[in-house]
Amino acid sequence: MDIIKELRDGARISALIKAIERFSDTPVNIMEICGGQTHIIMKYGLPQILPENIEFIHGPGCPVCVMPKERIDHAISLANQDNVILVTLGDMMRVPGSKSALIKERASGRDVRTVYSPIDVLKIAKENSGKRVIYFAIGFETTTPMTAALMEVSIKESFKNIFFHINHVLVPPPIHTIMQSGDVKIDAFIAPGHVSVITGTGIYKPIVEMYKTPVVVTGFEPVDILEAVLMILRQFHDKRSEVETQYRRAVRAEGNTKAQQLIDKYLAVRDTFRWRGLGDIPKSGLMIRDEFAFMDAEKVYKDILPDKSIDDHKVCRCGDILRGKAKPLNCSVFGTACTPENPLGACMVSSEGSCHAYFKYKKAVDI
């Protein structure tokens, strides 16, 4: 069975659209939380083939996009220390800080490297025993277990030169912030399936209960998205607000309990974390537990890390886009002064960013 072929099958997509059209009298604003889902929506032109009553609102589910400039400045400051190798994931390289970006620092001679997997840090550390290797870790709950696993291996194998700058964030807190802001009307959420593989579906229940807003945990193919839309419309028709799982092939209600335990062993919830475009959100980010402070770059290098919050470029609307208050086409510099080759903001830099999706699939969005 070719599952990808099935999830992109034209006949199946047509049948789902016909089923959705039966609910065309129900206007619904749906926020897809994950940037990966935004790309699928735009790549396959789903807004153009669905009835006009369905409106997609793009959420803050791109981990690169939500990193504020001061956290990028942290990475740059660390990369500029003697005998330091700064390691991160590829999308972080071009995100602008207040004055520079990691790719510019590398071009100027700083040792900044990208990896596909955090475990690659071990090889770099072994080959450079005389240097400190700092892993600038980002991501939602999906990638957090890999960072925790790297921490565990580092300790078990007695590495003394591996350090961590933790920027892992959580999905539910920014959703509460958006809903409480009143900036945009959201009737339902499409929740990210890969996050839910780790966390389980229980993390969305407070959202449903507090705002009477359906949440459907969804995969990353066009059929997945369309099935989720249909499930949401059926909830509206039945006057229900529940957490439902469309991504049943991967998600269990309890999630991955071993991964959860590994995360809890090494990481704790911060009192607050600043999000690009959303500001300071309580209990929305993670940090290294006190007993492992010896490998926490934020504590080891606390005297050289800037602590001042920094606003985005004045003409960049990435913050509004992350809140669902605007779409990329509402930004005056989209596709002109701001492109993937010359990005003004993180929403254009990241491969999961909304602006990047609109630019890449501009034919599908009728630009």
Q: What is the pTM of this model?
A: 0.94
* Percent residues over pLDDT 90 in the chain: 85
Give the whole-angstrom CA distance, residue 286 versus residue 175: 17
Q: SS3 of 90, please? A: helix
Average pLDDT of the segment spanning 98-113: 96
Give the whole-angstrom CA distance, residue 107 versus residue 93: 11
Residue 366, pLDDT score:
55
Contact 78, 306 (CB under 8 A): no
Q: SS3 of 83, please? A: coil
282-302 pLDDT, tens digit per residue, is: 999 999 999 999 999 999 999
Contact 144, 288 (CB under 8 A): no
Q: Where are the alpha helices (DSSP H) in 85-165?
A: 102-107, 120-127, 144-156
pLDDT at residue 50 above 70? yes
Contact 87, 95 (CB under 8 A): no
Helix (H) / strand (E) containing 177: helix 172-181
* Res. 7 pLDDT band, cuts 50 70 90: confident
User: Other C-beta atoms within 10 Å of 12: how many?
Assistant: 15
Q: How many residues does the chain have?
A: 367
Which tokens sit at 199?
A: 């966390």
pLDDT at residue 74 above 90? yes
Give the whole-angstrom CA distance, residue 44 versus residue 48: 9
241-267 pLDDT, tens digit per residue, is: 999 999 999 999 999 999 999 999 999
CB burial class (10 A; 0-12, 13-18, 19+) of residue 342?
exposed
Which tokens sit at 22?
A: 């039966």
* Res. 345 pLDDT band, cuts 50 70 90: confident
pLDDT at residue 335 above 80? yes
pLDDT at residue 339 above 80? yes
Q: Is the C-alpha dihedral spanning 117, 151, 251, 32 positive or negative?
A: negative
Q: Break the chain into its structural domains and give their ranges.
A: 1-314, 318-360
| Domain covering 1-314, topology | Rossmann fold (3.40.50)
Average pLDDT of the segment spanning 28-32: 97
Residue 293 Cα distances to 100, 112, 131, 288, 316, angstroms: 28, 23, 19, 7, 36
Give the whole-angstrom CA distance, residue 44 versus residue 106: 36
Contact 186, 179 (CB under 8 A): yes
DSSP string, 31-60: EEEEHHHHHHHHHTTHHHHS-TTEEEEEEE
Q: Are strands 286-288 and 267-269 parallel, antiparallel or unpaired?
A: antiparallel
Phi/psi of residue 180, nearest 5 degrees? -80, -20
Q: Are strands 112-114 and 54-61 parallel, antiparallel or unpaired?
A: unpaired
Residue 367, pLDDT score:
47
111-142 pLDDT, tens digit per residue, is: 999 999 999 999 999 999 999 999 999 999 99
Give the whole-angstrom CA distance, residue 165 versus residue 297: 5
